[in-house]
A and B are shown apart, each in its own frame.
Chain A
């Protein structure tokens, strides 16, 4: 990392899993507007479905997700009932139109659900929205809850993409984040999945965790590589104890500093590249034969709420507390509070709490930023057409500074991130994002850019 780049490491930048970022969501999107958009879904429009399961057995202290520790399955079951009702309400509005390309179960911990409940949810989706065998079914899994036979059960339900929350293998780090999972446990999980025929296994790793050192993290990466998953997602831990009280369990002084964070991130880059993984966007890695790598090769890489994806369906329908939908230019987010969510469902209303409607200008910013993050290159021409001059000047200045620091090269409206500087691409994205300054204050949605 070049010396002049160090100053960027501490910058806050949105994660850009949506544009506009969820920070700008407000009450302007309600159930009425959302259902109007749902009604307009085309007969064969590709759809992506997201199902949020906001329960975990135990709290990880780094967690920034919308989740609740729940050990009473009756309450989980009540939530599943609400989900089924929500799917039914939405299905009634959509009226059989659309064609599902992907279903993603995220959390929380989706594998807290028993097989029957997962099957019920899939059946409801099939009944209400249509589900065919060529749809891809993905699920996030906590290896600590995977029992013998679970992988097979999930594969039989149709799940063909599984991602495991690995984070780190170092015992000291695991203690410091309250997430103990032995290497052998994860290894067994992977071998069960392979035996069940799953050929798309992903590991999530986290850097910037307490007690992590380059040595410990490099060991963890090597161990992870030895299990040969098909892809990796390597995220930087966002420590925001003021916003997220549960993170106060993590001692500030055990956290690696910004420079070490950058070193840890670079380590992951290096190790995974050496092991033959291709870098996808700025935080995903995939084996050359994997669908994600193919999408990147063909310029079809996209970004959605789950990160980088080969999913081309622009329209996403989210189910569950805090789930975000995106339908024809409108983001709609459900109530975050599980109780509020369930009450609205019980009243047979769509539980939309907030959202935003994209303007034509947002649309162009979104496209420019997506291409930048996916391809490390973007053309600002279309975006500038709708950008007021003063704003353009501000962007030009910011980009000139980045160019001086060797982060980017710019030729006219086309801008390219220099090879060594890819980890700074969210900083670059923020510099062309007219709204990024409103997001500069540290919140859940923004985090250290590296």
Chain B
């Protein structure tokens, strides 16, 4: 996989007080790894790899096999697929804490491309299935903890069903707030915008110009307080 620029396979070290990557992982509380007990955690660490994925590189490609489960530790991804007419359809966004590749496949239905330099932990499904034999249900619980590509697909159906451009854009920002928003303490919500305007427009089924108009409206009514190329402040 040429797309992955750096592979950081963690060797399991024995003895001594060591700090594993997982111990300092800031999404651990919300993520898959929460489900692991200490023994499984140690095992997980030995079979897990943390990978850096450079911006614009794909970690999964449409039509290619994939047998890893990915946990996004940092960064974000764009999910897309090619339509019969050769155009690319943006089908969703995957944020920090989300999971991808929750089912092993011979032919991935989509491509997942890093929107920024990102970090993922990868677990082989093979290993997860092994864990599941000693701890039944653990895999399902793992997956149930996070937003997966399947949740994101559902999000998309809901969004596309909204009947005005303003509503669609507003719902998108709500989603963003829920996924990666932070509250600096004054009730406003800030969120990074790692995707381009064109990506957002394609995702929402809107023309770029319509998106711009909707953004102007949302600004006027105060829903969006400030927006730049890669950052947004909202009043929700």
A residues adjacent to B (C-beta < 8 A):
43-44, 46, 91, 95-97, 99, 101, 123, 126-134, 158, 311-313
Contact = CB atoms under 8 A, between A and B. Distances in A.
B165 A126 contact: yes
B214 to A, nearest CB: 11
Contacts of B67: none
Given A95-B161, A97-B160, A313 B205 contact: no
Which label, helix, strand, loop or mixed, suits the secondary structure of the A interface?
Answer: loop
A418 B127 CA distance: 62
B96 interface: no
A158 B207 contact: yes
B84 A131 contact: no
A43 B83 CA distance: 11
Nearest to B162: A96
Interface string B200-216: 01101111101000000
B78 to A, nearest CB: 15
Contact of A312 (B85, B163, B165): B85
A128 B163 contact: yes
A101 B89 CA distance: 11
A233 B204 CA distance: 36
Q: Which of A99, A132, A312 has the most CB of B within 10 A?
A: A132
Contact of A44 (B91, B161, B164, B208): B91
A25 to B, nearest CB: 27
Contacts of B161: 95-96
B201 A96 contact: no
Nearest to A96: B160
B215 to A, nearest CB: 15
Contacts of A134: 87, 202
A97 B160 CA distance: 7
B76 to A, nearest CB: 21
A227 B210 CA distance: 35
B1 interface: no
A43 B81 CA distance: 12
A91 B205 CA distance: 13
Contact of A43 (B157, B163, B198): B157
Interface string B157-196: 1011111110000000000000000000000000000000
Contact of B205 (A95, A130, A158): A130
A314 to B, nearest CB: 9
Contacts of B162: 96
Contacts of A43: 156-157, 160
A134 to B, nearest CB: 5
A132 B198 CA distance: 9
A127 B208 contact: no
B85 A126 contact: no
B175 to A, nearest CB: 15
Give the 3 A-B residue pairs with the shortest CB-CB distance, closest first: A130-B205, A96-B160, A96-B161
B85 A131 contact: no
Contacts of B86: 312
A44 B81 contact: yes
Nearest to B205: A130
A99 B84 contact: no
Contact of B207 (A101, A133, A312): A133
A126 B157 contact: no
A334 B53 CA distance: 52
A46 B205 contact: no
Contacts of A127: 163-165
A387 B85 CA distance: 32
